[in-house]
């Protein structure tokens, strides 16, 4: 019995099964473009992978293009496409410069032209032309990340501070057609919230935005407060959107990979949305109930949040795994792992975390404890000390997270 080998195999096979290439190819092969130019703009953590797939299908039909993705996520050159890397989860000067270039590429287009807009999660930080000073936008983003706000609440605010979010990019591209392929990283696939909806009409309201500010006690300048009431596009007739990928597919792939290794898969949810440490403790409670009942893989997909209480280093998947460690201590047939499908968990180089029945004892031998690490939101060094980090590197996709409880009977 080697639970870590099983976990690593499930992760590898699950991620390979959800790469966006096939879905991009399918959407493009079924579409007839007008006779004008095709300008490719690909934004997000999966931007390079999606752009490469589009280039494989369309070849020289693409006139020019731009990829905007996270640092270290460009995997090579793409013909006629410039690749730029920028800041995530907080936008930086490279985010702004790359977005200016995208706006320049897509201005003065005609009704015969098409903007092929490939969008994946992470675009809220990577694709940005702020309507408030950059320092204020950085402060607001950091407030939101520390508050425990979910991605919908965050993007309800961020789109109102931007010249490209909330449908404003598609409005800029008019009269050109915008053919958009979206890789979903938000539960329920709300198109106006994925990367803050650059090419989709807004469904939130000014009242929703004010409610987020009040709920999380955010500090906004008078300029930013006034932007909450500025209307966003409510109709974009030049846009056609195809959505692909979801956490449901990730969970199904994990279930199939676990079953190939002799586990009976049980899907708990593909709508997980709570604090990461609470999800970890819940999986540990399930483990204690079913530890002696056979070989099972309990699967939960979604996106948890972390409310920052300390000043440590980690991410939501690492925190989820570490929170499970105490509850499964001593159960040597149990493991819990959680992984971000994009390969980067929070502001770290890890994709997630792995713990098993021996993790708490291993931490103690290193002079560490799960409780102390969690109190400081410091999961990364704790897991690193006991070989519990999951390292995949950038994966080329981004469809939320998956957490798995393995019980080997």
For residue range 209-245, what is the model confidence (pLDDT) as tens digits? 999 999 999 999 999 999 999 999 989 999 999 888 7
Instruction: Give the model's pLDDT for residue 26.
Output: 86
Exposure string over 235-249, b if 16+ CB within 10 A, otherwise e: ebebbebebbbbbbb
Cα distance between residue 385 and residue 365, in whole Å: 10
Find where tokens 């070849």 sit.
59
Instruction: Give the model's pLDDT for residue 388.
Output: 98
Ranges of H-type helices in 30-82: 47-58
Determine contact, residues 235/268, Cβ cutoff 8 Å. Answer: no
CATH architecture, domain 3-14+248-407: 3-Layer(aba) Sandwich (3.40)
Instruction: Give the model's pLDDT for residue 122.
Output: 87
Distance of CA 34 to the CA centre of its chain: 32
Give per-residue pLDDT as tens, 353-377. Answer: 999 999 999 999 999 999 999 999 9
Strands 81-86 and 64-70 come out as: parallel
The confidence band for 11, taking pLDDT boundaries of 50, 70 and 90, is very high
Q: Do domains 3-14+248-407 and 20-244 have the same CATH topology?
A: no
Parse the chain into domains and list their residue ranges.
Answer: 3-14+248-407, 20-244
Find where tokens 């907080």 sit.
90
Instruction: Give the model's pLDDT for residue 256.
Output: 98
Task: Say whether pLDDT at 19 is over 70.
Answer: yes
> Which tokens belong to 266?
């049980």
- Helix, strand and coil content of the chain, in percent to the nearest 5, comes to 40, 20, 40
Task: Say whether pLDDT at 296 is over 70.
Answer: yes
20-244: CATH class? alpha beta
> Which tokens belong to 80?
């006629």
The confidence band for 1, taking pLDDT boundaries of 50, 70 and 90, is low
User: Phi/psi at 270 (nearest 5 deg)?
Assistant: -115, 25
Instruction: Give the model's pLDDT for residue 145.
Output: 86
Weakest mean pLDDT among 63-67, 188-192, 220-224, 226-230: 188-192
């Amino acid at each position: 019995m080697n639970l870590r080998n099983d976990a690593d195999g499930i992760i590898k096979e699950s991620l390979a099964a959800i790469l966006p290439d096939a879905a991009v190819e399918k959407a493009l092969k079924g579409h007839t473009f007008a006779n004008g130019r095709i300008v490719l703009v690909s934004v997000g953590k999966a931007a390079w992978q999606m752009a490469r797939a589009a280039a494989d299908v369309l070849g020289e039909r693409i006139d020019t293009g731009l990829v905007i993705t996270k640092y270290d996520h460009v995997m090579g050159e793409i013909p006629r496409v410039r690749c730029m890397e920028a800041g995530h989860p907080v936008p930086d000067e490279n985010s702004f410069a790359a977005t200016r270039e995208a706006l320049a590429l897509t201005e003065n287009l005609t009704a015969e032209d098409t903007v092929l807009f490939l969008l994946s999660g992470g675009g809220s930080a990577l694709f940005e032309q702020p309507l408030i000073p950059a320092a204020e936008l950085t402060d607001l983003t950091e407030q939101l990340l520390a508050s425990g706000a979910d991605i919908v609440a965050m993007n309800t605010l961020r789109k109102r501070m931007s010249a490209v979010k909330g449908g404003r990019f598609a409005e800029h591209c008019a009269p050109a057609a915008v053919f958009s392929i979206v890789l979903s990283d938000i539960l329920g696939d709300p198109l106006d919230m994925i990367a803050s909806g650059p090419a989709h009409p807004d469904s939130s309201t000014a009242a929703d935005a004010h409610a987020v500010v009040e709920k999380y006690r955010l500090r906004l300048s008078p300029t930013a407060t006034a932007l909450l009431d500025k209307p966003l596009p409510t109709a974009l007739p030049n846009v056609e959107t195809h959505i692909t990928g979801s956490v449901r597919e990730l969970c199904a792939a994990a279930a199939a990979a676990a079953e190939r290794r002799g586990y009976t898969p049980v899907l708990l949810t593909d709508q997980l949305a709570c604090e990461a440490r609470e999800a970890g403790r819940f999986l540990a409670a399930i483990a204690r109930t079913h530890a002696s009942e056979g070989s099972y893989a309990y699967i939960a997909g979604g996106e948890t949040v972390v409310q920052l209480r300390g000043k440590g280093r980690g991410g939501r998947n690492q925190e989820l795994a570490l929170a499970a460690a105490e509850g499964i201590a001593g159960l040597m047939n149990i493991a819990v792992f959680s992984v971000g499908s994009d390969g980067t968990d929070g502001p770290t180089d890890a994709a997630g975390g792995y713990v098993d029945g021996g993790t708490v004892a291993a931490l103690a031998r290193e002079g560490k404890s799960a409780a102390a690490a969690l109190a400081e939101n410091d999961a990364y060094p704790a897991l690193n000390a006991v070989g519990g980090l999951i390292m995949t590197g950038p994966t080329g996709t981004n469809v939320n997270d998956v957490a798995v409880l393995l019980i080997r009977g």
